[in-house]
Amino acid sequence: MSTAETELAHVHRRVLSWFDEHARDLPWRAAGTTPWEVFVSEVMSQQTPVARVVPIWQEWMRRWPTPADLASAAPGDAVRLWGRLGYPRRALRLREAAVAMVERHDGEVPTSPQDLLALPGVGAYTAAAVASFAHGLPEVVVDTNVRRVLARALEGRAQAAPALTANEARLAAGAMPPETDDANAWNAAVMELGALVCTARSPRCEECPVSDLCAWRRAGSPAHDGPVRRSQSWHGTDRQVRGRVVQLLRESVGSVSREQVAQVWPQDPAKVDRCLAGLVEDGLVEPDGEGYRLPV
């Protein structure tokens, strides 16, 4: 075994041991969790803090404990119960995925990454994560946290690239432990390390189980000198206005008049018109006579 392989084995052992002790007690990690429960958790957790996901996930699982249960629900019910998780199109895609599971997979979450990718709203990350965490297949799971941890620990870079690169994908694949159980645990452990310790802005290196093995620390923690992923401002964006429209409909009984919709952003009627038209096109809102409602 080469020096690099020996050091990587040390990294595996330490990160997995750290995860055993420090992993958050999330409900979808409990023994006996179904593939459907894992699937829903992965969709909900995209671009959303876990603390906000847990109560919504629990309510969804109480109401729709199987794909068939959600498939039989109205699309508007899924949007309504989505609450304030953001990106409510995910609620519609989740329901569409449930319908596809019923129609193509006997009401079960498919096992193979290829079948998972064929579901509405499922991308490469979700397919790999569900295959690994729900079905025990050692797929390479790469999210923003994983990319950042590996960039620092193995390559000495302060930050990952703004978007996943071919080099980062190869790095993640090469970092996987050879043993299947360890590989699946590694996927979750590295993600957790990035979420809790090796954070983007204020990494807590003193708490990191591999700080002495980290290439970035060994190099003196150099500042990032590459392109920066820009965060979008929130106030006044179409996304904010769309969210207000959906929230108005979510909190209303029956349909809402056009005049009521206009009040979500009265300073810019044209923006409201544009956002409303987009919501209708996306299937999140339906015209209802003189007003609008969530889809039925």
**Catalytic machinery residues:** 42
Residue type, 169: A
Q: Which two tokens stand for residue 232?
A: 């979008």
Q: How far apart are CA 214 and CA 157, in angstroms?
A: 10
Q: Which two tokens stand for residue 253?
A: 């009984």
Q: Which two tokens stand for residue 196?
A: 């809790």
The single residue listed with the structure tokens 């080469």 is 2
- The C-alpha angle 127, 132, 138, rounded to 5 degrees, equals 110
Half-sphere exposure of 70 (CA within 13 A, CB side): 33
- Backbone φ, ψ for residue 244 (5° rounding): -70, -40
- Backbone φ, ψ for residue 277 (5° rounding): -60, -40
H helices of 87-179, in order, are: 89-104, 113-117, 124-135, 144-155, 166-175
- Backbone φ, ψ for residue 231 (5° rounding): -90, 140
Q: Which two tokens stand for residue 242?
A: 């769309």
Q: How far apart are CA 242 and CA 236, in angstroms?
A: 10
Q: Which two tokens stand for residue 49?
A: 């803090």
